Amino acid sequence: MNIFKILPFITLALLSLKVDAQKSYVLKQNFPIGKKYDFTLISDQVINQQMAGQKLSLSQNIGTEYSFDIRNGEGLEKDIEVTYKRIFMKSKGMGNQLDMDSEDADTTKENSFRGLKGATFHMVMLPNGSIKSLTGIEQMVTNMVSKMKADSTKAANIKASLNQQFNAEGLKQTLESSLKIYPAQAVKIGESWTVDTKMQLNMPVETITKYTLKEVKDNIAYLNINGTLVSKGSFQSMGNKIDTDLTGTNIGDAELDLKTGLILKSHLRMEFSGKMQTGGQNIDFELQGINKIVGKESIASGLK
């Protein structure tokens, strides 16, 4: 074969690669009004603590399934009705065992998650994935309690507990830690941007995450994720003040639909360790976890 016939094709291929590398891509939340999306968030964690020579371990598996109904919006701000489809938690260790699932139909068990199935609230989401506002949280909690068989005193205690778990600021942080991932401007392959968010892990955790656009193929953007975690401060747990001095990493990857910004997949490995202190006692703390997100258009999308 004549090499002079091959060279033009090689040159053309190289030029094509160069053009793709220089092309800028806009990554943002751009959910079409009328669409519905299903999100599944799964977190697996192993926590090890050591205090006064005693070692304690805890394993947790926590999952939430949401439905996002894109109702309306002005510009790229979208008003989204969020519905809990399912929530579950399995926890074992430190002398306790917990297994709750909103799908569990056994009414003889005390199960606050059962009342959460079908619960809804509204949020306004901005193009960068941040949450502008949340409404309907208090009414959601009231509806949850009304579904439980409990006398007035017990119902009031349950409601107080649920208000701590499901409040606007806590939900905002939980959602933004998963959804606020988009850059402020268009990016090219190989370029990076950082996002600062907070996470709720009982203790307050600040995350500074670096995202890098690795590749774009078939209208899917592939991202590398490399973040740092910091918890330096204090929080209350079971009436005790706990001071934290913890650091860690959050490393993984994600896939985004280029047209809508929908997070199709995300996989993060989290490692978090350091010292905590309570009541004059020092605690060695270590957490290892895997966080996964799967997003897809609902089969009921567009149907009203």
The confidence score (pLDDT) of residue 301 equals: 60
Contacts of 293 (CB under 8 A, 6+ apart): 39, 40, 41, 42, 178, 254, 263, 265, 266
CA distance 266 to 254: 4
Q: Is the dihedral of CA 136, 137, 143, 147 positive or negative?
A: positive
| Structure confidence at residue 4 (pLDDT) | 43
CA distance 116 to 134: 17
Instruction: Report the chain's terminal Cα–Cα distance, integer Å.
Output: 62
Q: Domain segments of the chain: what residues?
A: 24-297
Distance in angstroms (rounded) separating the CA atoms of residues 223 and 191: 10
Cβ-Cβ contacts under 8 Å for 36 (sequence gap 6 or more)? 67, 68, 69, 70, 297, 298, 300, 301, 302
CA distance 201 to 173: 10
Rounded to 5 degrees, what are φ and ψ at 25? -120, 135
Q: Under DSSP, is residue 175 helix (H, G, I), strand (E, B) or coil?
A: helix
* pLDDT given for residue 13 in this prediction: 53
Q: What is the pLDDT of residues 15-39, one digit of tens each?
A: 555 555 589 999 999 999 999 999 9
Q: What is the CATH number of domain 24-297?
A: 2.30.230
Tell me what the pLDDT averaged over the chain comes to.
86
User: How high is the pLDDT of residue 217?
Assistant: 96
pLDDT for the residue 1 = 47
**100 DSSP β-pair partners:** 89
Provide the H-helix boundaries in the chain: 3-22, 137-146, 152-165, 168-179
pLDDT tens sequence for the chain (304 residues): 454 455 555 555 555 555 555 899 999 999 999 999 999 999 999 999 998 889 999 999 999 999 999 998 877 899 999 999 999 999 998 778 888 898 888 777 777 778 788 889 999 999 999 999 999 888 888 877 776 666 666 667 767 777 666 788 888 888 998 899 999 999 999 999 999 988 766 778 899 999 999 999 999 999 999 999 999 988 877 678 899 999 999 999 999 999 999 999 999 999 999 999 988 889 999 999 999 999 999 986 655 4
Q: What is the Cα–Cα distance from 225 to 212, expressed in whole angstroms?
A: 7
